[in-house]
């Protein structure tokens, strides 16, 4: 059973974006990173891709070259956030269609408690609205530009059910947690599971049938 992965890829492009992991595989292979199996090094790469093909050019999706370049960029240890990478076509508040959605992107955060370090990167492409944690202060969601009106997604579901978009393929929030903690595979699975509570604190409604939320969790065992 595989207990170790060597890279996680977060991308846009839906299923087309899966091509980018081929570039990551190539980079890792060239640097001899992976499992040694009968004279060959096999990298283990996990990937999640969000659906953004309805935004701008639907054929502009990540490819193998972009995946390879992402590995080179990662060497610089200067992560970008915002309208880059998997966040390029990300948006929220899509229950009433893309014309009333708001742009989001890619974000990251990191914390340290004594010797324990934890970081997370998120590509936010949820169907619902975004709030500050433990607050009713909304950050983003359905927005009617024509009437300069913010629309609550939860209220829209109840009041305009027949009008809401019921496209299960167009939304997902994908994340990766990285820590230096020495944890087993089962324990890391628990970390990923518990982290979905973070989604619930900020996304309303969350984990709907229109969302395909995914969280990876990696531990370097260097603590």
- DSSP β-ladder status, 45-49 and 7-11: parallel
pLDDT at position 160, please?
76
pLDDT at position 1, please?
63
| Structure-model confidence comparison of residues 209 and 199, the more confident one | 199
- Please say whether the beta carbons of 106 and 123 come within 8 A: yes
Question: What does the DSSP assignment read for 83-113?
Answer: SSGGGTT-EE--TT-GGG-EE--EEEEEEEE
pLDDT at position 129, please?
95
7-219 belongs to CATH 3.60.70.12: yes
**Domain coordinates in residue numbering, the chain:** 7-219
- Find the DSSP H helices in 31-146: 64-75
pLDDT at position 167, please?
57
Q: What is the pLDDT of residues 22-69, one digit of tens each?
A: 999 999 999 999 998 888 899 999 999 999 987 777 788 899 999 999
Q: What is the pLDDT of residues 64-122, one digit of tens each?
A: 999 999 999 999 888 899 999 999 999 999 888 888 999 999 999 999 999 999 999 99
Q: What is the pLDDT of residues 112-144, one digit of tens each?
A: 999 999 999 999 999 999 999 988 999 999 999
Residue 149: which H helix or E strand, with range? strand 149-151
pLDDT at position 169, please?
53
pTM of the model: 0.90
| Structure-model confidence comparison of residues 79 and 17, the more confident one | 17
Structure token pair of residue 41 = 């090094």
pLDDT at position 188, please?
94
- Tokens 């969601």 found at: 141
Q: What is the pLDDT of residues 150-192, one digit of tens each?
A: 999 888 888 877 666 565 457 899 999 999 999 999 999 999 9
């Amino acid at each position: 059973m595989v207990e170790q992965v060597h890279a996680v890829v977060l991308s846009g492009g839906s299923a087309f974006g899966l091509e980018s992991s081929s570039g990551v595989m190539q980079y890792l292979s060239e640097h001899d990173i992976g499992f040694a199996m009968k004279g060959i090094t096999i990298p283990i790469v996990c990937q999640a891709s969000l659906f953004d093909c309805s935004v701008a050019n639907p054929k502009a999706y990540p490819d193998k070259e972009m995946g390879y370049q992402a590995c080179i960029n990662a060497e610089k240890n200067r992560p970008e956030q915002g309208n880059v990478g998997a966040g390029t076509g990300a948006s929220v508040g899509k229950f009433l269609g893309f014309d009333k959605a708001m742009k989001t992107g890619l974000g990251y955060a990191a914390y340290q408690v004594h010797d324990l370090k934890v970081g997370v990167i998120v590509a936010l492409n949820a169907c619902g609205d975004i709030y500050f944690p433990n607050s009713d202060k909304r950050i983003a969601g359905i927005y009617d530009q024509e009437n300069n009106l913010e629309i609550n997604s939860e209220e829209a579901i109840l009041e305009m059910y027949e009008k809401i978009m019921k496209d299960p393929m167009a939304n997902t929030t994908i994340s990766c947690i990285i820590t230096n903690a020495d944890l087993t595979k089962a324990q890391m699975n628990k970390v990923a599971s518990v982290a979905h509570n973070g989604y619930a604190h900020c996304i309303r409604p969350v984990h709907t049938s229109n969302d395909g939320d995914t969280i990876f969790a990696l531990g370097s065992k260097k603590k």
